[in-house]
Structure 1
Amino acid sequence: MEFGIDQALKTYSGGLGYLAGSHMRSAFALKQNLIGIGILWKYGYYEQQRNTDNSLRVFFREQMYSFLEDTGVRFQISIKGRDVWVATYYLPSSVFNCAPMFFLTTDTDGNDEWARSISYHLYDKDAEVKVAQCMLLGIGGAKFLDKASLVPEIYHFNEAHAISAVYYLLSQNGDLNKLKEKLRFTTHTPEEAGNEKHSFSFLQHLGFFCGLNPTEVAKISGVKGDLFNHSLAALRVAKKANAVSKLHGEVSRDMWGHEEGICKIDHITNAQNRTYWVDSVLETNRSKGKAESINERKKELKFALFKEVADQVGKIFDPNVLTIVWARRFAGYKRPDLITKDLERFEKLISSGKVQIIWAGKPYPFDYGAIDTFNKLYYMSHLYKNMAVLTGYELKLSKMLKDGTDVWLNNPVVTREASGTSGMTAAMNGAINLSTYDGWVCEFSNDTNSFIVPVADGSDGYLRDKTDMNNILDVIENEIIPMYYEHPKKWNAMVLKSMNDVNEFFDSDRMADEYYTKMYMA
């Protein structure tokens, strides 16, 4: 549904897109026989701006790309009993050094405004339009491959958005057993309630099942009553599936293991493309083991980040002061404002002069709770010259933040973050992770390369959050600040260890190779 290929191509919202972009870059570098299919979002996700009172402003602007090539392949798919035209565009590998990409759009001649709007906004808030987007990706993607004579050996569904492709393929050749041999599925959702579900009759009305017999569709998809679970349907028709970290694999097998007819769920731990994300000077110094030189370069990168801070919020940060960043999608379970919950304790920390803290990230544009959290943090930041909340969290700002921070703060509710890859690219650029024990950090972290807080009892949400908050603040006050200022050689050694430990396994070349050998070829 989203690919974060480059800052200039607004076809992503956040981490899932960054991950897909890294996968495509590594596939290109490894010369894998792979292409990507996505949607050309006319207005992207949204541009994150500020209103006159500095509250978050959601702004949509038409995006134009001269580097995309019209393939000339046009065809129709049926949505809600209406024929909808689909046009297709090609992104050559040479533009951004990624695997060949094809993007679908309904914003084309022959369509009315409703049909055109299907490819306007990534993750549209209207349920009917969002399902139509899934049909564009799934049915449209599979039909494009047919029309373009690019019929693949393997179809890989990255999340269940494109599951409608299965029903299109069955409508063309009804042999489910043969089709299963070609289907792979990756789940990124670590809790059952987070998996997309719709009324079976609603989907049937939209044409989601391509005219197949409803009874047969319900049988092969695991439909219960009138409830269609997209992820369960994918698990039942795929030959293989994978979660995106070791812990997520355990959670997924426990979550789905009671279901009949599902495929085996393995895990391939997420990773990010080092070539794209890593500062070259830092990487040179890492490879030579020059911890002091890494520290010097970090101060230069902090200065560059702090120019952006000054430009956005009118504050001058100091490269010699310990800098903490929390930056990712604003969502309730990620708890962006956790360390501010005890105002007295946070006031003491932020007023000590020993830390600078930056927040950034995009809430879903219609998640008003997350938007409220973002705004509250911004208004709180007015009270402190060393606290900043930035807008425009896309690939460019994400890179700048990871280059310029000393500590990357990550505090999701444990088991709710399937992987959480932002800390990987922060570590690649000389930042030390401070995190709850969830997702990828369970395979990376030890007491020599990061700071991990103990897992809190999750039976009471309030007490869990309070415990995590206090543990994080304890680590900042009692371990991180003393080490940074009083034991700089120890700090620099930890930074180097973190960079070395994240270097190979968490590079997406390893991840792309595992997908190719474990999921596609085996």
Structure 2
Amino acid sequence: MTDFRNYKVPYEPSSEYSKSVAYFSMEFAIHQPLKIYSGGLGFLSGSHLRSAYELKQNLIGIGILWKYGYYDQSRNQDQTLKPEWYEKNNSFLVDTGIKFQVPVHSQPVWVKAWYLPPDTFKSAPLFLLSTDLPENDYLSQTITHKLYDSDTAAKIAQMIILGIGGAKLIDELNFNPEVYHLNEAHGVSSVFYLMKKLGKKEEVQKKLVFTTHTPEEAGNEKHDFYLCDKMSYFYGYSIDEVKALTGMSGDMFNHSLAALRFAHAANGVSKLHGEVSRRMWGEYENIPEIQSITNAQNWKYWADKQLYRFMEEADNEGFDDRKRYLKKRAFEIVADQTGKIFDPDVLTIVWARRFAAYKRPDLITHDFRKFEELVTNSEFPVQIIWAGKPYPMDYGAISVFNSLVHLSKRYKNVAVCTGYELTLSKRLKQASDIWLNNPRVPREASGTSGMTASMNGSVNFSTYDGWICEFAKHGENCFIVPQADYHNLSIQDQDQWDLNHLYEILQGEILPTYYKNKRQWRDIVQSGMTDVRFEFESNRMAKEYYELMYR
């Protein structure tokens, strides 16, 4: 029986990782049955917890148990996107018996803690908070219903539950972490709780580290000081006191800036993102130097082990056969969803991740004449699959998704899949020969989907952004759209440059290699698999957090 009132991780922490850490994240993608994530941030924190478990680190995760998850992606009658919210059941979670109150909008709200034991999915211990309790009024119950609620006040309430609620839970557990690690700034309200507990900003700073994932200032959340105050976000501190503590002026409270000013160490999530962040925050005083620790994904969870075994045994026939089988199996899902039968011997391009404007999901369709030629080419045939979840209130992204659905109806070899979560993500990586990634440079902080694509025998084809800059050897382990002078190009010119080069490389290099030089193609695939294996594996990342951020 776990003693939740004097909690210790239920395994002997390794000596080099004995320092105790509480890791706060708004979302965790640990395994398909636990649907409390939306995209990259969750995939990252899920892999982090899996590696913390493998390395036996003295780390616990603090998150929220979203009753309806992010949303379930289904279809309207014409196959366009339909967001739906269903109640999630998680019978594998353990009731800790811990309940406590957190002030929200000057009213006490009851919070309950659930527990995911390490053995369940092979992850570090994870505590999840919920306000969905009969003791609360209906409005308070809904705080932990939907991840990233579109209502501003609800979102601030969610941040209070994660930050203040998470810090309070740690005291209820009597865990006493030496480090509080905020993964993105959603949990920064914890600093006001810690101020009351520790009495001095310097004492809070000694314990706090912060990871930023946002490469542009507009993407860093800001909320009106008076609204935050009214919502009890500052835990009893007045607006003037908060402004003095954070060095902010004006009407807007900047969550990331507060996190930076309360942390003694901070990091971006790729080398490029580290540079971009240092530039972006460079004019602000009293912030720590922003280091970089490149995001990574957990090999044990994501990789196809048989592909690796055939590669290591230099069994080319076995390797090709395995990749063909993985494609064929994944195409069953495509057939089930879309009624289209794909061919495992045809080059398959997949674009799948969160749908957001800067990621340009439909870029390849912008030159329709070239697109038409590509998908009707009989000498070098291709198949294209799209998948991903737009934010349910991002009507621009939803309309792009829907336009691709309508476009796909014209072709047997073009498909759009729904339900892009962990399981489909893995299957589509196995389905793909080319993992297409074309964000506008330099707007992708890290972007990790290509890492797990490589772990499943797919070749990255990407613009030069995020983690790719540390990985890419064009024509050897991936294909890269050459960089333009992005700072001096208009958005339209940048899109045009990237689009032209995308087609040049596809038609001039990728298709001829795939169809005419199987050996060279296999070498490129295997170089990617090798290069991703240790450098972009989350054990390396979890180790670096201890060495660079927690020491």
Counterparts in 2 of 1:387-406, with a 5 A limit?
387-406=414-433
2: CA distance between counterparts of 1:84 and 1:474?
A: 58
Q: Which residue of 1 aligns with 2:524?
A: 494
Q: Which residue of 1 aligns with 2:509?
A: 479
> In the alignment, is the contact (CA less than 8 A) between 2:229 and 2:238 conserved in 1?
no
Quote the offset at 1:422 in angstroms: 0.1
Q: 1:333 aligns with which of 338, 343, 358?
A: 358
Q: Which runs of 5+ in 1 are unaligned?
A: none
Q: Which residue of 2 aligns with 1:462?
A: 492
Counterparts in 2 of 1:124-273, with a 5 A limit?
124-273=149-298
SS for the counterpart of 1:27 is helix
2: CA distance between counterparts of 1:200 and 1:38?
A: 25
Q: 1:267-314: CA deviations, max 9, x gaps?
A: 000000000001121121233344443222110000011111111101
Counterparts in 2 of 1:35-434, with a 5 A limit?
35-353=60-378, 354-434=381-461
Quote the offset at 1:147 in angstroms: 1.2
SS for the counterpart of 1:434 is strand
Residue-pair matches, total: 521
TM value normalised by structure 2: 0.94
Q: Which residue of 1 aligns with 2:539?
A: 509
1: CA distance between counterparts of 2:41 and 2:430?
A: 20
Moved over 6 A (4+): none
2: CA distance between counterparts of 1:269 and 1:55?
A: 36
AA at the equivalent of 2:44: L
> In the alignment, is the contact (CA less than 8 A) between 2:225 and 2:239 conserved in 1?
no
Quote the offset at 1:176 in angstroms: 1.2
AA at the equivalent of 1:239: H
> In the alignment, is the contact (CA less than 8 A) between 1:286 and 1:499 conserved in 2?
no
Q: 1:308-329: CA deviations, max 9, x gaps?
A: 1111101111110000000000
Quote the offset at 1:373 in angstroms: 0.3
Q: 1:1-46: CA deviations, max 9, x gaps?
A: 0000100001101111011000000000000000000000000000
> In the alignment, is the contact (CA less than 8 A) between 2:226 and 2:239 conserved in 1?
no
2: CA distance between counterparts of 1:173 and 1:502?
A: 42
Q: Which residue of 1 aligns with 2:42?
A: 17
Quote the offset at 1:180 in angstroms: 0.6
AA at the equivalent of 1:499: M
Q: Which residue of 1 aligns with 2:20?
A: none
Quote the offset at 1:188 in angstroms: 0.1
1: CA distance between counterparts of 2:244 and 2:384?
A: 53
Q: Which runs of 5+ in 2 are unaligned?
A: 1-25
SS for the counterpart of 2:324 is helix
2: CA distance between counterparts of 1:244 and 1:402?
A: 22
Quote the offset at 1:404 in angstroms: 1.6
2: CA distance between counterparts of 1:8 and 1:497?
A: 33
> In the alignment, is the contact (CA less than 8 A) between 1:171 and 1:212 conserved in 2?
no
SS for the counterpart of 2:150 is coil
SS for the counterpart of 2:59 is coil
> In the alignment, is the contact (CA less than 8 A) between 2:29 and 2:36 conserved in 1?
yes
Please say which of residues 458-467 and 437-446 is displaced more in the overlay: 458-467
2: CA distance between counterparts of 1:416 and 1:455?
A: 14
SS for the counterpart of 2:535 is coil
AA at the equivalent of 1:322: L
Q: 1:24-74: CA deviations, max 9, x gaps?
A: 000000000000000000000000000111110001000011110110110
